[in-house]
A and B are shown apart, each in its own frame.
Chain A
Amino acid sequence: MAAHLFTNGHIVDPVTGIDTQQDILVVDGIIERIGAGLPAGNAEVVALDGKHVLPGFCDMHVHFREPGFEYKEDTRSGAASAAAGGFTAVACMPNTDPPIDNAGTVAFLYKQAQGLPVDVYPIGCVTKGRKGESIAPMLELRDAGVVAFSDDGSPISNTKVLRIALEYASMLNVPIIQHAEDPLLFKGGAMNESIVSTQLGLPPISRLSEDTVVMRDLEFTAYVNGRYHLAHMSTAGAADAVRLAKARGLRVTSEVAPHHFSLTDEALRSYDSNYKMNPPLRTAEDVRAMKEALRDGTADAIATDHAPHAIHEKEVEFVYAPFGIVGLETAFGLSVTELLLEQWLTLPQLVEKLSTNPRRILGLDDIRIEVGGKANLTFVDLAAQWTVDVERFRSKSRNSPFHGRVLTGRTLGIYNNGQYVPTM
């Protein structure tokens, strides 16, 4: 029997509405008691001294690179990175080699994740081999345990395939997650089109690439009554389109990555490839639009698009560097610094974006911090200031533009699957 007593934690759970300072006794993964001054007995005591206890965070958009690119990340190192970032659940994108387009690969990933303190859920491909030509066996993938479908990394561009995918997936009540990008407009692009791309001479990616695909997709979603989730929303135009679609009652959700609410394309003036992401960093107007979208519910979730790459892959000419950043370990600090402290979101709202909403989008059970419930918890210190140091990342990779940045809000640890993992 393993028992942990978390004393004097400030529990905030938007699902049960609880907001109180109490002790929590957890035994073998189940919340045994909640109350004041609970006796420790032989439980390991973790003194929280008023720090917060929140429902475990869920990142619905990560790239753990397994199978195929384990030198960048694998399920185990990715889960360690997630735990360090306060996440107890992640959903892995299927742009692996081979891609996750069959039940065998899904079963392999569940096996790799067995016994970890972080629940690792595979996302299945929308199309066979991520080729965008014909849909993958979605029923079989669903039964094998995928929580969503996506060809992330590539858009679903063939409109006939898009329609069939949305129709077919709608009977499973599983969302199609779209990487919204127009391949012709995007081609060869390296950064957002703006005065900065003009000055840097880097091949531009216009906002049109995202905006027009989102607008088109939403019409398809309306027409077939599909379930559509927009990955890594980055433009004011896309946010406007999603807002309108929600007002029309469409089954549409969206996510925003921390870098898209905290950085602009001005950062690229250094030609540092750690700022190279897809979608690219946009303008100050877009950053503000992402914050507005999170506040008014247009954006349902904060998702990191955790995209680890080896140093030798990023240490090249900007145009040749791959897109993406290590996201899991800075997401909470950025959310507190940019959203909570700037009063774009209240703490319960932030918890919804980091936990409740992504779990609901993926069809996972709500976390309820109550006696008899499964203990799936994230412990945080909202006031702690810390300096990001990529050398301390648990991820295998180091590609983060936030190295050296001082953030407010730090995770203290997670508890999930009967394991307590403190953040070192």
Chain B
Amino acid sequence: MSSLSIRHLLGLDGVPREDIQLILDSSDTFLEILDRPIKKVPTLQGKTVVNLFFENSTRTRVSFELAERRLSADVVNFAASSSSVSKGETLLDTARNIEAMKVDIIVMRHSAAGAGHFLSERCTSRFINAGDGSHEHPTQALLDMYTIRQKHASLEGLRVCIIGDIAHSRVAMSNIYGLLSMGAEVAVCGPSSMIPYRLEQLGVRVFTDIDEALRFSDVINVLRIQLERDAGANFPSVREYLNYFGITRRRLDKLGRDITILHPGPINRGVEIESEVADGPYSVILPQVTNGVAIRMAVLYLIGTSAE
């Protein structure tokens, strides 16, 4: 295998197509390992990975942790709630203290956009961004692209629409960069109040009519609606959202053709997607979760072993 040109995986913005291609291609090997009776290889033996999570995210952390353990890395989990952050230590001090214990890779989830950029310029470890504020979540986008590629031979020319609260979605942004880089046609759909300012300048189509968006799409990626934050603020009510933007059986039937359906999870059944659709034949939601481990193994392997 060849190696990545990037030192850290902070986002997909600006990452060369060859690097994305390499990560996706490498994941095939790791996916195959997951089906073996003994799901473990010695690839990262002797390397130490810290999962530095300043935001709760059980599923992303578990996915990373399984990936790390299956590569035989030594794994330490650091959750902000149990850390000295609550005692007023700065992020930089926290990271430097962890580094002083000689670690190789830091996987970080943080609520502040750019937290990974900030630390990677001041520390010596390799950083993998596991989500930073509304900025990026690159491994999610990579696993989404990988899952799409399993269903469709190539991403080139494929029409993918991301649906939901685009303005607050790191998943959307990483998908947009990655998909555009791989030659897909990318659209977003959601209430205009949830489309980030001037997004179309990135070369993305913007729909506010869900049926029009579905007619455009080969693949849709349905984002979770943050009920706590958004209902009443950026759109009037859950009822109105489901009626006008929800992915329902009726809408898909009307379309009269197959469409691949992704969802980064966790799902709000009956809000952004009907149960029948989420569990239906076109949904690849569970394969996404499986692929997530393989993608993260590939990323950890490639970042952890790339040259200085």
Is there contact, CB below 8 Å, between B114 and A195? no
Is there contact, CB below 8 Å, between A200 and B113? yes
Given the complex of chains A and B, what is the CA–CA distance between A195 and B13 in angstroms? Answer: 13
Is there contact, CB below 8 Å, between B135 and A201? yes
Is there contact, CB below 8 Å, between B112 and A317? yes
- Total A-B contacts with CB atoms under 8 angstroms apart: 65
Q: Which residues of B contact A193 (CB under 8 A)?
A: 197
Closest B residue to A268 by beta carbon equals B114
Is there contact, CB below 8 Å, between B114 and A317? yes
Q: Does B115 contact A (CB under 8 A)?
A: yes
Is there contact, CB below 8 Å, between B90 and A200? no
As a 0/1 sequence over residues 83 to 122 of chain B, the CB contacts with chain A under 8 angstroms (1 = contact) are 0000000111000000000000000001011110110001
Is there contact, CB below 8 Å, between B91 and A317? yes
Q: Which residues of B contact A320 (CB under 8 A)?
A: 112
With contacts A199-B13, A201-B170 known, is A319 near B133, CB below 8 A?
Answer: yes
Question: Which of B92, B115, B170, B197 touches A198 (beta carbons < 8 Å)?
Answer: B197
Q: How many Å from the CB of B293 to the closest CB on chain A? A: 26
Closest A residue to B167 by beta carbon equals A198
Is there contact, CB below 8 Å, between B114 and A202? yes
As a 0/1 sequence over residues 224 to 256 of chain B, the CB contacts with chain A under 8 angstroms (1 = contact) are 000000000000000000000000000000000
Stretch at the interface among B27-35, B40-48, B198-206, B296-304: B198-206
Q: Which residues of A contact B170 (CB under 8 A)?
A: 201
Closest A residue to B14 by beta carbon equals A269
Question: Max chain A CB contacts within 10 Å: which of B132, B133, B136?
Answer: B133
Closest A residue to B112 by beta carbon equals A317
Closest B residue to A315 by beta carbon equals B92
Closest A residue to B115 by beta carbon equals A317
Q: Does B16 contact A (CB under 8 A)?
A: no
Q: How many Å from the CB of B2 to the closest CB on chain A? A: 28
27 interchain pairs, CB-CB under 8 A: A194-B198, A195-B201, A197-B196, A198-B196, A198-B199, A199-B173, A200-B114, A200-B135, A201-B114, A201-B133, A201-B134, A201-B135, A201-B136, A201-B170, A202-B114, A206-B197, A270-B117, A271-B117, A271-B118, A315-B90, A316-B90, A316-B92, A317-B115, A318-B114, A318-B118, A319-B112, A319-B113
Binding site for A on B (CB under 8 A): 13, 90-92, 110, 112-115, 117-118, 122, 132-136, 170, 173, 196-199, 201-202
Binding site for B on A (CB under 8 A): 193-195, 197-204, 206, 270-271, 312, 315-320
